[in-house]
Each structure stands twice: as C-alpha cells, then as structure tokens.
C-alpha cells in the first residue's frame, strides 16, 4: 500500500528548530518530485518547499528551512530553523512521479511555535 507518513511535529519556542520527516512506503521516493505544504489554523493551503532535480522554497521560509531526502531510508525531511509564530501549521508532505502535488499526500503533522 502506498503511504506517506509525516512525523516530527510538536511544540517549539520561537527561534527554535525542528526537523520533520516524511517516510514513503509502496514507492521509491528518490524517483518522485516531493513537496511540503502547510496549513495554518483556520487558513488555506500554502506551499513551502519542493525537491526534485533541484530544490525550491517559498519566500516566507527561504534561508530558514532546508528540504532534503535520504534515499536509503526512503524519507524526505524538512529542517526548520529560526521558527516563528507564523510557522505554526499542519505540515503535509506530497509527491508525484512528475509533479509533486499529483499523486500522494500524507495526513500531516502539527507544528506549534509558541513560548
């Protein structure tokens, strides 16, 4: 069964760091384009970052977040540094064989940035 499972969310203080993981099963993540998408409480969807042959970032996270993947673990990561209150959101990972929003989505992991 194809699945994306996010983990690593939690409560962190402003200025702190957190690393999210997105573990894939049922397909080879290294051959897919992958994205992180977030949704702040009561708000809409916001694309955060993508990885394929290159990496891409939304302006709101550029310089603070880093996307990567470990092919041996079939897992994608989002390293989040210098976290701000406005980064509070449910973070979803998504992947597609050609376009990163197209095939699979995870169930999300909640990140709360608060003192």
Partner 1 sequence: QSVVTQPPSASGTPGQRVTISCSGSNSNIRSNYVYWFQQLPGTAPKLVIYRNDQRPSGVPDRFSGSKSGTSASLAISGLRSEDEADYYCAAWDDSLRGWVFGGGTKLTVL
Among 2, 11, 45, 85, binds partner 1 (CB under 8 A): 45
Is the Cα torsion angle 76, 45, 89, 7 positive or negative in sign?
Answer: negative
Kindly tell me which of 14 and 104 has the beta carbon lying closer to partner 1: 104
Shortest CB 115 distance to partner 1, Å? 27
User: 41 in helix, strand or coil?
Assistant: coil
Name the strand (E) or helix (H) holding 111.
Answer: strand 109-113
Kindly tell me which of 7 and 13 has the beta carbon lying closer to partner 1: 7
- Our finding on whether 56 is near partner 1 (CB under 8 A) is yes
- Our finding on whether 110 is near partner 1 (CB under 8 A) is no
> How many residues belong to the site for partner 1 (CB under 8 A)?
20
CA distance 18 to 25: 23
Region label for 10, one of left (φ > 0), alpha (ψ between -120 and 50) or beta (otherwise):
left
Strand pairing report for 109-113 and 10-12: parallel
Kindly tell me which of 44 and 63 has the beta carbon lying closer to partner 1: 44
- Our finding on whether 67 is near partner 1 (CB under 8 A) is no
- Our finding on whether 35 is near partner 1 (CB under 8 A) is yes
Using the 8-state DSSP alphabet, how is residue 91 labeled? E
Binding site for partner 1 (CB under 8 A): 35, 37, 44-47, 50, 56-59, 92, 99-102, 105-108
């Amino acid at each position: 069964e194809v699945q994306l499972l996010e983990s690593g969310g939690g409560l962190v203080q402003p200025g702190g760091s957190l690393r999210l993981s997105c573990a894939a099963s049922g397909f080879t993540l290294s051959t897919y384009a992958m994205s992180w998408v977030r949704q702040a409480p009561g708000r809409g969807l916001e694309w955060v970052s993508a990885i394929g042959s290159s990496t891409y970032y939304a302006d709101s996270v550029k310089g603070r977040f880093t996307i990567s993947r470990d092919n041996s673990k079939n897992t994608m990561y989002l390293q989040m540094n210098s976290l701000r209150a406005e980064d509070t959101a449910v973070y979803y990972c998504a992947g597609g064989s050609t376009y990163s929003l197209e095939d699979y989505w995870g169930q999300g992991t909640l990140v709360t940035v608060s003192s």
